[in-house]
Structure formats: structure tokens, C-alpha cells
A and B are shown apart, each in its own frame.
Chain A
Amino acid sequence: EPEVTQTPSHQVTQMGQEVILRCVPISNHLYFYWYRQILGQKVEFLVSFYNNEISEKSEIFDDQFSVERPDGSNFTLKIRSTKLEDSAMYFCASSEAAGYGGGANVLTFGAGSRLTVL
């Protein structure tokens, strides 16, 4: 079964350092997403990406965050200067399509990258 893969599975970093989280979405999927989940809290939307540009972003996704699809297979999330409150599980997800119905809009998640900021 096709899957979304994420690396690293766990990263520990010092406050103020830059972090890049990597994702390889399912190959025929066109829509890519980053979500985060702080321990014990809900899954929160960060950003969606389609056709090499951001299509939606949340208020969490401020200037410290950026996304990129550098080579047609990887989808990365960069946090420029990490803060303690960035500690969370970051999930990448992809879908074949967007919109309503038909089943192709279902999100498939990667296993997540746990970020710990000290």
C-alpha cells in the first residue's frame, strides 16, 4: 500500500536553530499538507501546497515557517529559528485531489517527525 514517508522520525534541537523536516508524499498525489500536534492536543493545520505554491496557511504558519518541493518528490518544512513552543509532532499528509467527495480527497498521513526544542 502506498505510503507517505517522513524523516527524521525524531529530531532534538536547540532553541534558535533551523530545522528541516522532510516528506515524500505518495507519488500520484497532487496536494500536500503539513500538520502539527502538540503532545496531548489536537491535530492543527499548518499549510497546504499545490502546483508548487502554498494554497492555504493557518495563523500558526508565520514567517518562521516555509515549505518547498525542491525536486519533484520531496516536500519539506523548514523552521528558521525554533522556539520551545515548536516542540510537537509534525505530520505530512497528501491527497490525490481536493474538493468534495469521490474519495480522492482523503488525506494519507506519514508517521510523523517528532521535534523536541531544548
Chain B
Amino acid sequence: RKEVEQDPGPFNVPEGATVAFNCTYSNSASQSFFWYRQDCRKEPKLLMSVYSSGNEDGRFTAQLNRASQYISLLIRDSKLSDSATYLCVVIYNFNKFYFGSGTKLNVKP
């Protein structure tokens, strides 16, 4: 079983749409969670950390559900510039980071 699983997509949405991604993790001892964004052939860049109470940063909202072992990312009012691959990252065992395979988002005009 994979440590972190994501729907690979692609999610094709029109500008202005709301889109949500989920990510499930297998290890209940996982303690820190992040969403990273990766543009084609570029390095991953932190989008946001995910806190237990859920958190929002502008058009982006992240949620954590420990009972069901998943995290989610909601993007409201999608922009063309949101087109990228979104990586779910989970820390387990102090400093071991596990990456999901990423969910590809295409925002179309």
C-alpha cells in the first residue's frame, strides 16, 4: 500500500470554477501535512501547510481529517495560473517526507 495516494487527474476545469482534491495517507502516526505545487519541469514549491483545524489562504482552503486519514485542498475561483500539479506531502517518523504522485489541474479559459 502506498504511503500517500492521490487521484492523478487531470482535472480540467473552466476559469472561475471551484475544484477540490483529496489525498489519503496510510500511516496514522503521520503528523505534518502540506500541499506543494509543481509546475512542469520545475521544483515543488510550498503552497500551504495543513493544520488540524483547517486553514485558508486566499482562494485556497486545506482540511485535515485524521479519523479518515485524508487531507483536502479546495481552490475557489480558479485562475489560468493555477494550472499545475498539486502534491500532497506527509511527514512521518520525524523527518521522513512522503510525496503523493500529484494531481494535475488544467484550468481552461
CB of B95 within 8 A of CB of A43, answer no
From residue B96, how far is it (CB to closest CB) to chain A in Å? Answer: 5
A56 partner, pick from B43, B44, B95, B102, beta carbons under 8 A: B95
Number of A-B contacts (CB under 8 A): 58
Q: Is B64 an interface residue (CB 8 A)?
A: no
CB of B32 within 8 A of CB of A100, answer yes
CB of B43 within 8 A of CB of A48, answer no
B residues within 8 A CB of A103?
Answer: 49
CA distance A105 to B31 in the complex (A): 11
CB of B46 within 8 A of CB of A106, answer yes
- Categorize the interface residue count of chain A: 20 to 34
From residue B47, how far is it (CB to closest CB) to chain A in Å? Answer: 11
B residues 32-85 touching A (CB-CB < 8 Å): 32, 34, 38, 41-46, 49
B residues within 8 A CB of A112?
Answer: 42-43
CA distance A91 to B44 in the complex (A): 9
Q: Is B99 an interface residue (CB 8 A)?
A: yes
Q: Is A2 an interface residue (CB 8 A)?
A: no
CB of A31 within 8 A of CB of B95, answer yes
CA distance A108 to B89 in the complex (A): 13
CB of A98 within 8 A of CB of B95, answer yes
Q: Is A61 an interface residue (CB 8 A)?
A: no
Counting from the closest, the 4 A-B pairs by CB-CB distance are A98-B95, A100-B31, A109-B43, A42-B101
Interface residues of B (CB under 8 A from A): 31-32, 34, 38, 41-46, 49, 87, 89, 91, 93-102
